[in-house]
Structure 1
Amino acid sequence: MSRTVHVGDDADLVPTLGLALADPDVTEIVVHPGVYPEQVVVAPRRAPLLIRSLTGDPADVVVTSDLRQGDLGATGMPVVQECATFTVDADDVTLRHLTIRNTYDKRRGTDVPDQQALALRTRGTRIVVEGCRLLGRQDTLLLDSRSFAHVSHVLVRDCLVVGDVDFVYGRATALIEGGEVRSCGAGYVAAPSTVLENPRGFLFRGVRFTADDDVEPGSVRLARPWHPGGRPEAAGQALFVDCTVGPHVAADRWADMGGYSWRTDARFGESGTVLAPGGAAASAEHDLPLPAGVDPDEHLTGWSPAPPPRGRLHVLSDSTASDYTPDRAPRTGWAQVLAELSGREVANHAVSGMSTTSLIASGHLTAALEQVRPGDVVLVGFGHNDAKDDERHADPHRAYPAHLRRVLAGARARGAHPVLVTSVERRRFDGDRAVSTHGAYPQVVRRLAETEGVPLVDLTRATRALWQSQGVEGSKASFLWLEPGRWPGYPDGERDDTHLSADGARAVAGIVVAALRDLGVLDPAAPPSDDAVRADAAVTAR
């Protein structure tokens, strides 16, 4: 049920936006003319929300603050992006015909180390900012997502955005359409931090790039790549289509940032540029076309929630899941039999010896993501080789979760459903008790699943319980404990407590199938395989 609240300086109205937002049932906030000196945070809500001015003129409603990055917050520590005048953390929010400004002027405190002062920060998805004025200097408009593992979609339409340095920035998939982007000083317009695995970052279409009269010709670059904290997974995308550029925009359109090059660490390009009087065409080196396959009309693909998880099952993993040729029998990966047990088409991208580090460095992740379609399911299970002390290593507390977030972002950007999978436990016993062998890696995955809202199949816990139930001797049949002369591929026999036999692979795949049914990925009415091992207590869905 819709509920409208009016905000304004009148005894019969709610006096502030903050008070109006405290009502969780509000679906529309109509703001009467006035200046509202407050920091506004739109927290996650259960229903879509529209905040609009009463008159339809953005000049009539001004939401304003004066905080900068580096000012001390409630804890006594410096604030960073929390300095924003207006923050949207909820999904499905529309801002219409408002002025949102941050009045901090870095020219009055040139000895201050942090001079960023945000006007609007968005972190939710399906955000529409329409007919608004967004006013600031450095870092005016941050179009972001909740984390590097999330993909947010934002439409900024027919707005005025004012700033000087990096004043449209962040990692969201955003279409900035129509309106005016005005430079109030020398600097840089866009600083995207798009995750490399997300094919869509910022696209400016039909925007007029203007400047104040005192801005020198050629003193503004269109974009430079922002790598927050030096993160290599950021490869910012900023594309400019059918835009009009004034003389303040340099012929050298792009710039480096923080040691990262626009040539190799960014995805920039322009098409259909119109030159205003005095405007300069891009120089030969900076004349970058749009990347192949870019369709501006499709830039916000993925705006709607992903379709139900009824597509193919993709598996990204290591030798415990990979396919093997008949001459390697009985060695079998659990994903090798997943199609048979699940009744779903499976694309098995698992590679023997692969870690999250080599998954990315080899280009294998990029190739696999090219096959992912909306509604597909991407099962991600590593850890065995990430612990190796070689080029495949990924520190469990730093690189490992960062790599997994890239996979999550890549899957989500394509409308797929990622599922995190902890490692298959090795066969190791202390006396008659099965013991853990993967150190911190499984718990990192569990924690990541919880914080990023991703379903989890806890194979580490489930397979340890399985090996315990099979016992010291019985569990050998699930691995490659082979007698000499029995299998052609192993004439001398084998003693392998990591890789699975056909029986072991079917048992592990059965656990995965049972978990996917519990998660709603597979039809719960489908008859379970006789080989499926139900380990409900050991499989956690986040």
Structure 2
Amino acid sequence: MREQTIVFLAGDSTVAARPIHEKPSFGWGVHLGATLNARISTVTGEPIPVFNIAKGGASTDSFREEGLWKALLAELTPIDVVLIQFAHNDQKLGHLSPAGGFSANMERFTDDVQECGALPILCTPPARRTWSGEELINSHGDYPDATRRLAERRQIPLVDLTASTTELIRTLGSSESARLYAHLPPGLSPSYPDGLADNTHFSFAGACAVAEIVADEIEEVVRARVHGTSPDAGR
């Protein structure tokens, strides 16, 4: 059996590696490996692998239907960690309501990971930069709370990205927070000749900032797995 802990990422475009034509948009998952490995030393000196299986446009339904979840489970061992973050696309689909299909699918993901002996970590979706005057709007409705309730009920770790990124955006303010998101003036990219003002997906700086937030939350859990101490440390 493999002896090296792997951190797996399941999610949507806010986590995923982005195709070149979609730059300057970045998913936070791309930066998590470097961020974690700057904090955690392994016994062998080898870096902790982060397998980012997140996909743009994915919902909790499509991630399973397209075989991505099956591929992840095929690689999973009891020493691994799986971060699971959805909602951005689920909220566009009526049957994936927070208390309905979305919660059922997230719980099924949790069951699958635990059946493999690995550790699931749920993530609430990062906030969109949607301002109304001086007020930042909650654009995810009840999806963050549904994720929080599941983590609490199942007693598994939670990374509350909705709360932490909301706080970050509010602290920076309406103008300064734009640098965290994929904004581009006209004429700089053939993909976006008229410019880009995307307040859902991150800039390079924004993706790095969110990766730091995630690393802050999971560092002790991952360290425990890597060094073979209590697998539930950090809860």
Q: TM-score range by the shorter chain?
A: 0.7 to 0.9
In the alignment, what sits opposite 2:50?
346
Does 1:337 find its partner at 2:31? Answer: yes
User: How far did 1:431 drift?
Assistant: 1.6
In the alignment, what sits opposite 2:99?
397
In the alignment, what sits opposite 2:90?
386
Q: Tell me which of 195, 205, 221 is aligned to 1:521.
A: 221
CA distance in 1, matches of 2:58, 2:22: 18
| Secondary structure of 1:514's aligned partner | helix
| Secondary structure of 2:83's aligned partner | strand
CA distance in 1, matches of 2:147, 2:66: 22
User: How far did 1:488 drift?
Assistant: 4.2
Deviations 1:113-147 (A, max 9, x none): xxxxxxxxxxxxxxxxxxxxxxxxxxxxxxxxxxx
1:503-542 matched pairs, under 5 angstroms: 503-517=205-219, 520-523=220-223
In the alignment, what sits opposite 1:357?
61
Q: Tell me which of 377, 381, 393 is aligned to 2:81.
A: 377
User: How far did 1:328 drift?
Assistant: 2.9
Does 1:453 find its partner at 2:158? Answer: no
Q: Compute the RMSD of aligned alpha carbons.
A: 1.9
Structure 2 gap segments, 5+ residues each: 38-47, 225-233
Larger Rg: 1
In the alignment, what sits opposite 1:282?
none
Higher relative CO (Cα under 8 Å, sequence separation at least 6) belongs to 2
CA distance in 2, matches of 1:522, 1:360: 25
User: How far did 1:380 drift?
Assistant: 0.4
Normalising by structure 2, what TM-score? 0.85
In the alignment, what sits opposite 2:201?
499
1:260-275 matched pairs, under 5 angstroms: none
**Distance 1:375-1:443 versus aligned 2 partners, 3 A rule:** same
| Secondary structure of 1:314's aligned partner | strand
| Secondary structure of 1:378's aligned partner | strand
Verify the 8 A CA contact 2:24 2:183 in the aligned structure 1: no
CA distance in 2, matches of 1:408, 1:523: 21
CA distance in 2, matches of 1:495, 1:315: 26
Structure 1 gap segments, 5+ residues each: 1-309, 525-540
In the alignment, what sits opposite 2:41?
none
CA distance in 2, matches of 1:473, 1:479: 11
CA distance in 2, matches of 1:522, 1:412: 16
Verify the 8 A CA contact 1:401 1:444 in the aligned structure 2: yes
In the alignment, what sits opposite 1:98?
none
| Secondary structure of 1:365's aligned partner | helix
Deviations 1:312-347 (A, max 9, x none): 110000000100234432211000111111113110
Q: Tell me which of 172, 178, 194 is aligned to 1:470.
A: 172
| Secondary structure of 1:324's aligned partner | coil
In the alignment, what sits opposite 1:435?
137
CA distance in 2, matches of 1:325, 1:342: 23
Deviations 1:202-233 (A, max 9, x none): xxxxxxxxxxxxxxxxxxxxxxxxxxxxxxxx
Residue identity matched to 2:11 = S
Verify the 8 A CA contact 1:332 1:501 in the aligned structure 2: yes
CA distance in 2, matches of 1:389, 1:407: 19
| Secondary structure of 1:357's aligned partner | helix
Deviations 1:380-413 (A, max 9, x none): 00001111037xx512112111111111111111
Higher helix share: 2
Higher strand share: 1
Verify the 8 A CA contact 1:513 1:522 in the aligned structure 2: no
Verify the 8 A CA contact 2:5 2:80 in the aligned structure 1: yes
Residue identity matched to 2:61 = T
1:388-427 matched pairs, under 5 angstroms: 388-389=92-93, 393-427=95-129
Verify the 8 A CA contact 1:435 1:464 in the aligned structure 2: no
User: How far did 1:522 drift?
Assistant: 3.6
How many positions carry a matched residue from both structures?
214
Deviations 1:126-185 (A, max 9, x none): xxxxxxxxxxxxxxxxxxxxxxxxxxxxxxxxxxxxxxxxxxxxxxxxxxxxxxxxxxxx
1:109-188 matched pairs, under 5 angstroms: none
1:243-262 matched pairs, under 5 angstroms: none
CA distance in 1, matches of 2:149, 2:93: 24
Q: Tell me which of 293, 308, 316 is aligned to 2:10.
A: 316
In the alignment, what sits opposite 1:153?
none
Residue identity matched to 1:506 = C
In the alignment, what sits opposite 1:366?
70
1:167-246 matched pairs, under 5 angstroms: none
Write out the 4+ residue segments of structure 1 that deviate beyond 4 Å after TM superposition. none
| Secondary structure of 1:398's aligned partner | helix
